[in-house]
Amino acid sequence: MADAELPMAVDGGYDWDGRWNHVRKFLERPGPFAHPDFEPCTESLQFLLEMCKILVIGAGGLGCELLKNLALSGFRLIHVVDMDTIDISNLNRQFLFRPKDVGRPKAEVAADFINNRIPGCKVVPHYKKIQDFDESFYRQFHIIVCGLDSIIARRWMNGMLISLLSYEDGVLDPSSIIPLIDGGTEGFKGNSRVILPGMTACIDCTLELYPPQINFPMCTIASMPRLPEHCIEYARILLWPKEKPFGETSLDGDNPEHIQWVFKKSIERAAEFHITGVTYRLTQGVVKRIIPAVASTNAVIAAACSLEVFKIASSAYIPLNNYLVFNDVDGLYTYTFEAERKENCSACSQVPQNLQFPPSAKLQEVLEYLMENASLQMKSPAITTTLEGKNKTLYLQSVKSIEERTKPNLCKTLTELGLSDGQELAVADVTTPQTVLFKLNFTT
């Protein structure tokens, strides 16, 4: 669609008469429910339009909605980060993308669309992982809003903002707080929360609300399958690494050839045990751990999140305090509550984390605890410590050579490894940008 000549410059850019009337009403009028700090004035709109910098994490189902909502609420300085490219399956709810965009980076296509559709908006895309940026990048934003589908990524972002906090004499400097609005959806359910790092409950404070993913026990998969899902996992976990059907490439859930292979093998497995129900669709769902997404849930949750961004940026209302749950399976249901900070949260409490183990415990037990404990849920923790003044890696999984070298340590006891009562262990993991310090307490 050809753009007509842009309107005359008004208010420093692209605004026509009355364009922001609906927003102005909240910025320029006092009201009984506004934030105590709120002062109605005409300059507030300028702040939103010209100075307020927002970061949107994710340009998928939630991200597209967030970008649209923010742009239509007056925000113009928006950055968006997404590491994915567009897949055809995204098109039924990620409405900034068209068939011609398949294969292009989501962040870039989303930014282009918004900038074209909403004159004056300057969305800056980043086709990157969140971990590719450091504090200097994140520090420039007034508010960060997440539309992610990964708990690990959320926790990382959470950890990053906590690392930006500065304390003077043990007192938190409020200007170092960057509010984090987090939205998540799963089918017909969704939630939206406001996090003020250092002040309110953070992601890790409420980690138990995110149940760990269901993984079938290996013995079921290996020798006693009952469900079609067991057969698919058999093909995925056991056959693929053994038969290497496509050479050294790892299984890619988005590659139809890969899925076809897994599907065929799953059918064979299922036939052996007289199990019915293996379909291509189910295969893909299990391999990709897909929970079907619903456009309208994304719309609702993104709307709630964007409104909170507006409230915080403008003080026009008191923000959500602090957690909204939404479910429209049966009618429409919302539940709003104040999630509480965890006193000894491993991410935000600054309270040293304790590990209680007998000295005869093996390092393997410590590793399992870090991964299985509901409040920690680490994915592949790397444990280091200081022994005789030197840094020593006790176990690290992510680098093959170090993994091989440190693997024997797992079977050694804590005393055999030279650790003593009160020893500090530094643990790094994908769930946090900073290492977490643990204090080892020997039990008798």
Partner 1 sequence: MLFMVTYMPTLCCRLWGDHGQDTLENAHVCLINATATGTEILKNLVLPGNLNVFTAVPYVCIVSYSFFLTYNSIGKNRAQAATELLQELNSHVSGNFVEESPEKLLDNNPDFFHRFTIVIAVQLPESTSLRLGSVLWSASIPFLVCKTYGLIGYMRLVVQEHTVIESHPDSALEDLRLDKPFAEFKNHLQSFDLESMNKKDHSHTPWIIIIAKYLEKWLSEHNYKPPQNYKEKEAFRQLIRDGIRKNENGVPEDEENFEEAIKNVNTALNQTKIPSAVEELFNSEQCNNINSESSSFWVMLRAVKDFVHSEGNRDLPVRGTIPDMIADSQKFINLQNVYRTKAMQDAAAVSTHVQRLLQSLGKVCKNASFLRVVRCRSLAEEYGVDSVNKDEITSCMDNPDSEMVFYLILRGVERFYQQHSRYPGVYNYQVEDDISKLKLCVNSVMQEYNLNVNIKDDYVHEFCRFGASEPHTVAAFIGGSAAQEAIKIISHQFVPFNNTFIYNAMLQTSATLQL
Candidates 31-39, 373-381, 399-407, 414-422 — which segment interacts with partner 1 by CB under 8 A? 31-39
Name the helix (H) or strand (E) containing 384: strand 382-387
Cis preceding linkage at 441, omega within 30: no
Among 41, 51, 209, 290, binds partner 1 (CB under 8 A): 290
Is residue 188 involved in binding partner 1 (CB under 8 A)? yes
What is the torsional sign of CA 146, 151, 155, 157? negative
124, 227, 410, 430: which one contacts partner 1 (CB under 8 A)? 227
- Asked if 124 touches partner 1 (CB under 8 A), the answer is no
- Taking CB under 8 A as the rule, does residue 28 contact partner 1? yes
Choosing from 52, 121, 146, 219, which is the catalytic residue? 219
How many residues make contact with partner 1 (CB under 8 A)?
A: 77
Q: Which is nearer to partner 1, 175 or 213 (CB)?
A: 213
CB of 23 to partner 1, least distance (A): 7
Q: How far is the CB of 233 from partner 1 (least distance, A)?
A: 13
Return the residue of 10, 41, 51, 88 that touches partner 1, per CB under 8 A: 88
> How near is the Cβ of 39 to partner 1 at its closest, in Å?
15
Q: Mention every residue, 6+ apart, whose C-beta is less than 8 A from residue 337.
A: 323, 325
Q: Is the dihedral of CA 78, 82, 86, 90 positive or negative?
A: negative
Tell me if 21 contacts partner 1 by CB under 8 A. Answer: yes
292 part of the interface to partner 1, by CB under 8 A: yes
Tokens encoding 133: 């940026």
What single-letter DSSP state applies at residue 251? P
b/e sequence 182-219, b meaning 16+ C-beta within 10 Å: bbbbeebbbbbbbbbbbebbbbbbbbeeeeeeeebeee
Contact 237, 216 (CB under 8 A): no
Hey, which residues between 329 and 368 contact partner 1 (CB under 8 A)? 329-334, 336
d(CA 13, CA 280): 52
Out of 12, 31, 241, 418, the residue judged to bind partner 1 by CB under 8 A: 31
Please identify, using beta-carbon distances, which residue of 114 and 428 lies nearer to partner 1. 114
Q: Which is nearer to partner 1, 249 or 296 (CB)?
A: 296
Contacts of 184 (CB under 8 A, 6+ apart): 62, 148, 149, 154, 190, 191, 301
Full strand arrangement of the beta sheet holding 122-126: 122-126, 77-81, 53-57, 143-147, 180-186, 189-195, 323-327, 333-337
**Part in contact with partner 1 (CB under 8 A); list of ranges 75-83, 144-152, 186-194, 204-212:** 186-194
Query: Among residue numbers 265 through 284, which ones bind partner 1 (CB under 8 A)?
Result: 273-275, 281, 284
What mask, x for binding partner 1 by CB under 8 A, covers residues 298 to 317?
Answer: xxx-xxx-xxx-x------x
Tokens found for residue 436: 């977490």
Judged by CB under 8 A, the residue of 10, 29, 209, 249 near partner 1 is 29
SS3 assignment, position 290: coil
Please say if 219 is a catalytic residue. Answer: yes
Q: Which stretch binds partner 1 (CB under 8 A): 64-72, 103-111, 176-184, 205-213?
A: 64-72
The residue among 302 and 370 lying less far from partner 1, judged by its C-beta, is 302
* Contact criterion met (CB below 8 Å) for 403 and 383: no
Please list the residues that pair with 195 across neighbouring strands.
Answer: 180
Among 9, 36, 37, 99, which residue interacts with partner 1 (rule: CB under 8 A)?
99
Catalytic positions, written as ranges: 219
